[in-house]
Structure 1
């Protein structure tokens, strides 16, 4: 039993023939007859009977048709409620981000949404391997994820909006011999100890590309995912590290040098399930994230 079958029964009680119901609902008479047969199979007593050339409802059919009115009314109320939910400009919106994106985007987002009548952000940090970001869209409305420029695209199960295409630079102490160079090459940095991320995180692939371009293995001295912690380790002489150009806080003891000879750039994308942006509040937050990205790149 479903809404369509109940509506057909209700219309049959008013119009008195399958042909008239088919004309009213803009379908074929055979389609109406099929739905009536399916409905009858789910009810243990007859719903219709013949009176001459007319097909009329039995007492049980009339009772069920009366219930159809209540069902349609309840469904219409439900549709209105869903519509109001989707159109609300000030609903809660959950946003997850990996650490460096969270540190950069979240303050701008909170300031942009501080006024009345705006969405209410619910923020969380989620530092996961690249392949796990799409799964987070089950739990959050929007997920800020990163992947390398040349990596495979995100799966079709999620929609991705690119916020930034951010260069990865080589971080080194300000007094390092390479700090005087405008740019560095893989051969320049290959002999240095390195501070890099754990396996499965995007930046590691660029470190491996540096090794390949230099024709030698790099000494991976330390594994640190948090760029702020890695910056302190670089400043203390622990080695070189790849750092995002825009989404890490400047460190007074470090300099960042562009890298030649290797494609060193990451995407920061906002991932979401397609149905999430049916909500006005989610679309508003996504727009504010795009505005924040422009501010970050310009600043």
Structure 2
């Protein structure tokens, strides 16, 4: 038989209130977000403290701070509340409240190259299904997927930093090579292939804000025995191409980044040893896949099989 402690269950609404109070640092601010009165929030938190058997918050003149127990419980509560939101999204889908719609997460280089081909085919085959897209950073894509905001999403990884999460099912869509960009009047512009060792004296254009392609360049250059000289930090790949086109430097980019190629830029292969990244379809392991998700996955993988060689 279970003892009293093992039988204790916490109210999910009180856990959600605790999370908001800890994150906001204020009962009043949390009450506004949760559409409660401050007194109602305080009352529910006192009941939660009674259930726990110890204080969870230290009240101060300017807000509240969690006790050690409050921090621990809030950490678990975040996961519980997230799972409950995901469960609600799944149940709504089964009940038909979202039937005929699909939300997909993606990242900019894929949204500007391969994904429009998939969307065109999908809309032609399934015109009744409403499709919405969200282009975001890697961690945001994963968070949206785990919370149920998106039904599936597209991610990427490199051999030295494989993505793994026990809660997420991954399917490889295709692999793409890294290529070199030079201006049309660069001495290397007529080459079809080049080795990194030949590029040690070049000035490099890279993406700003610690973009993953910076690590790709650094690893490739270090393997070839040199430290790359950075000449320009670009905010996106179109800006990088523009700077390459006027001779400000050369650039390494994933091949999908030049789907819209600048007329004064040449794309050169870095050979079979060029770093490759995997493009991945990600779905939650613990959910029932809706018909729209199954249809999108089928279309996505079909188009990928047809076009995969273009990205190598």
Corresponding residue for 1:114? 123
Corresponding residue for 1:254? 265
**Structure 2 SS opposite 1:176:** coil
TM alignment of 1:100-249, pairs within 5 A: 100-115=109-124, 118-126=128-136, 128=137, 130=138, 133-137=141-145, 138=147, 139-249=149-259
Question: Which whole-Å CA distance do the structure 1 matches of 2:220 and 2:127 have between them?
Answer: 49
Question: Which whole-Å CA distance do the structure 2 matches of 1:295 and 1:253 have between them?
Answer: 29
Task: Report the alpha carbon displacement of residue 231 of structure 1 after superposing the two structures with TM.
Answer: 1.3
Post-superposition CA distance 1:205-255 (Å, at most 9, x none): 220112212322211122225222211121121211112224532332121
TM alignment of 1:10-49, pairs within 5 A: none
Corresponding residue for 2:104? 95
1:246–1:99: structure 2 CA closer, same or farther, 3 Å change rule?
A: closer
Task: Report the alpha carbon displacement of residue 94 of structure 1 after superposing the two structures with TM.
Answer: 0.7
1:277–1:200: structure 2 CA closer, same or farther, 3 Å change rule?
A: farther
Question: Which whole-Å CA distance do the structure 1 matches of 2:95 and 2:160 have between them?
Answer: 42
Task: Report the alpha carbon displacement of residue 107 of structure 1 after superposing the two structures with TM.
Answer: 2.1
1:148–1:133: structure 2 CA closer, same or farther, 3 Å change rule?
A: farther
Instruction: State the TM-score, normalized to the length of structure 2.
Output: 0.61
Task: Report the alpha carbon displacement of residue 177 of structure 1 after superposing the two structures with TM.
Answer: 0.9
Aligned residues: 217
Task: Report the alpha carbon displacement of residue 201 of structure 1 after superposing the two structures with TM.
Answer: 3.1
Task: Report the alpha carbon displacement of residue 83 of structure 1 after superposing the two structures with TM.
Answer: 4.4
1:97–1:125 CA contact under 8 A, matched in 2: yes
Task: Report the alpha carbon displacement of residue 100 of structure 1 after superposing the two structures with TM.
Answer: 1.1
Which residue, 284, 287, 292 being the options, matches 1:281? 292
1:148–1:203 CA contact under 8 A, matched in 2: no
Please report the RMSD computed on the Cα atoms of aligned residues, expressed in angstroms. 2.8
Q: Which structure's CA Rg is the greater one? A: 1
Task: Report the alpha carbon displacement of residue 263 of structure 1 after superposing the two structures with TM.
Answer: 4.0
Question: Which whole-Å CA distance do the structure 2 matches of 1:282 and 1:134 have between them?
Answer: 17
Post-superposition CA distance 1:122-158 (Å, at most 9, x none): 01211x2x45542231332122112223322322221
Corresponding residue for 1:290? 301
1:190–1:118: structure 2 CA closer, same or farther, 3 Å change rule?
A: farther
2:231–2:249 CA contact under 8 A, matched in 1: yes
Question: Which whole-Å CA distance do the structure 1 matches of 2:91 and 2:168 have between them?
Answer: 27
1:83–1:135: structure 2 CA closer, same or farther, 3 Å change rule?
A: closer
Instruction: State the TM-score, normalized to the length of structure 1.
Output: 0.64
